[in-house]
Amino acid sequence: MNVEITPIKTPAELALASAFEGAKKRLPGGASVARLREQALASFVAGGLPHRRIEEWKYTDLRALMREAVPLAEPPDKAALTRAKKSDPLPGVAARALTLVNGAFAPELSDLGKAEAGLTILPLSRALAEGHELAARIGRILPPQYDAPHALNTAFVADGIVIGLAAGAKLARPIHVRHLFTDAAPAATYARTLLVVGAGAIATVIESFEGPDGVAYQANAAAELSIGDKAWLEYVRVQAEGEAAIHLATILAELGARAKLHTCSLTTGAAVSRQSMYLRCAGEGSETRLSGATLLRKKQHADVTLFVDHMTQGCTSREIFKSALDHESRGVFQGKIVVRPGAQKTDAKMMSAALLLGEAAEADNKPELEIYADDVVCGHGATAGALDENLLFYLRARGIPLKEAQALLIRSFIGEAMEAVPHEALREALLARASAWLAQREQTP
């Protein structure tokens, strides 16, 4: 006997569905985009918010963690833009800043000065409204299965940044997409970055996320990274949302033959965050290195979930993720590597390590390998533990106070996830942010 179970919709699920009905006419894009949105919303209505009995969300019960949906963010007014003139989260990098305030492109806070040859930049809202050829790429790279945050992003996305880099072009300086939330009242933002790196092109793109502490806003961000043959993308993410925020991110990337993708994510913000990365190694001989450092305190919950799909032969992937978990925080790492039939000579290695600083901190590590080819080198390792008491003693025996000794060891532990960022000023700025987090830790008793 089959029993159909229709789960009761949560207030958040109901509110999201009704918000779409109210907003869909205002959302940018032609008929095909509208259809994408309708389909995405329909999949959300059917699938709902994921809960702990869904394997991919076992440790991050989004249905329980996101009890309510907040209203959609309004385009920023003058006051919101004024508040957005905050200091650069990555000083010294000298990047081209493109700013989104409350999910909407803010030209007055963006550097649209002379673009390098082959570089196209435009706000997603305009690209969708005008039917720009790059906007037609939206939704080309998809998660392998239903992914609630991604579906919601597709349904609601109002704005974002489209970056196109022509074949062989090279960015003279990094592009920094800044996502700022500036309101005092909670609201939901849906932004998407669409990045098309042509064959042989070279780019460094940064995305950062910031907002006020104490406001329970919900930021949903998606990025579609299309990396052409022999292209090279360095992609850095700084998630420094306000401490009451929910941050849901979906990063979708597809690599062409002999393409290179290196990513580094530094996560320090939000009450609850999830970063899902779906990687398609579609062309032969591509090389990826995904890295990240997560620094959490109090009751923060951060989830990094990777899905690396080795679709063809000769691709290399490396993942190294570190987390330092203070107080009662919880760090989740799930990494799945799939090696498809025929993806011979795959070389995949994944490492995740958690440092438990707080006695009530929790690390959940779930590495998975699914291998359907026989001539491959695959491996994974996961560790969780406390700081080495002997090393702390050695440092303290030299007069270094406990918290400073801990900071030295924590910095060296997480530094490994950032040291491979090739852009020196960017690497230093990331390490400086980690150091600032540690300095704050030193000052609290």
Partner 1 sequence: MNVIRKIEQESASTTMNMLEIKNLHVAIEDGKEILGGLDLTVKAGEVHAIMGPNGSGKSTLSYVLAGKADYEVTEGSVLFEGEDLLALEPDERAVKGLFLAFQYPYEIPGVATMTFLRTALNALRKRRGEEELSTPEFLRLVREKAKDLGIDQDILKRAVNVGFSGGEKKRNEILQMALLQPKLCVLDETDSGLDIDALKIVADGVNKLRSKERAIVVITHYQRLLNHIVPDIVHVMARGKIVRSGGPELAHELEARGYAAYEADAA
- Residues of this chain that bind partner 1 (CB under 8 A): 389-391, 393-402, 404-405, 408-409, 411-413, 415-416
d(CA 439, CA 407): 8
For residues 334 and 406, which CB has a smaller minimum distance to partner 1 in the complex?
Answer: 406
Shortest distance (Å) from residue 396 CB to partner 1: 4
With CA atoms as reference, report the closest residue to 257 among 233, 231, 284, 280: 284
For residues 364 and 416, which CB has a smaller minimum distance to partner 1 in the complex?
Answer: 416
For residues 45 and 387, which CB has a smaller minimum distance to partner 1 in the complex?
Answer: 387
For residues 229 and 404, which CB has a smaller minimum distance to partner 1 in the complex?
Answer: 404
Measured CA distances, 116 to 165, 206, 234, 308 (Å): 9, 17, 17, 32
Measured CA distances, 177 to 11, 77, 219 (Å): 32, 20, 14
User: What is the identity of the amino acid at 15?
Assistant: A
Shortest distance (Å) from residue 297 CB to partner 1: 21
Shortest distance (Å) from residue 390 CB to partner 1: 6
Please count the CA atoms within 13 angstroms of the CA of 360 that sit on its side-chain side: 8
d(CA 221, CA 239): 11
For residues 368 and 419, which CB has a smaller minimum distance to partner 1 in the complex?
Answer: 419
The residues, any chain, with a CB within 8 Å of residue 79's CB and separated by 6 or more, are: none
For residues 284 and 404, which CB has a smaller minimum distance to partner 1 in the complex?
Answer: 404
With CA atoms as reference, report the closest residue to 144 among 276, 265, 17: 276
Shortest distance (Å) from residue 387 CB to partner 1: 11
Mapping DSSP to helix (H, G, I), strand (E, B) and coil, where does residue 422 land? coil
For residues 133 and 442, which CB has a smaller minimum distance to partner 1 in the complex?
Answer: 442
Strand bridging mode 175-180 / 202-210 = parallel
For residues 17 and 408, which CB has a smaller minimum distance to partner 1 in the complex?
Answer: 408
d(CA 274, CA 62): 9
With CA atoms as reference, report the closest residue to 315 among 283, 352, 291: 283
The residues, any chain, with a CB within 8 Å of residue 374's CB and separated by 6 or more, are: 344
For residues 83 and 396, which CB has a smaller minimum distance to partner 1 in the complex?
Answer: 396
What's the N-to-C CA distance of the chain in angstroms?
Answer: 59
- Name the token pair of 253: 């990337």
Question: Which is it for the CA torsion 189, 435, 205, 142, positive or negative?
Answer: negative
For residues 32 and 435, which CB has a smaller minimum distance to partner 1 in the complex?
Answer: 435
Shortest distance (Å) from residue 416 CB to partner 1: 7
Shortest distance (Å) from residue 226 CB to partner 1: 35
**DSSP-assigned letter for residue 388:** P
Mapping DSSP to helix (H, G, I), strand (E, B) and coil, where does residue 251 land? strand
Give ∠ CA 47-276-29 in degrees, rounded to 5: 65
The residues, any chain, with a CB within 8 Å of residue 392's CB and separated by 6 or more, are: 402, 405, 406, 409
Distance from the Cα of residue 113 to its chain's centroid: 27
Mapping DSSP to helix (H, G, I), strand (E, B) and coil, where does residue 76 land? coil
For residues 2 and 390, which CB has a smaller minimum distance to partner 1 in the complex?
Answer: 390
Shortest distance (Å) from residue 398 CB to partner 1: 4
Shortest distance (Å) from residue 404 CB to partner 1: 6
Shortest distance (Å) from residue 408 CB to partner 1: 6
Shortest distance (Å) from residue 413 CB to partner 1: 7
Shortest distance (Å) from residue 355 CB to partner 1: 12
Shortest distance (Å) from residue 403 CB to partner 1: 10
For residues 15 and 409, which CB has a smaller minimum distance to partner 1 in the complex?
Answer: 409
Strand order through the sheet with 347-356: 104-105, 96-101, 175-180, 202-210, 232-240, 260-267, 287-296, 316-325, 347-356, 377-385
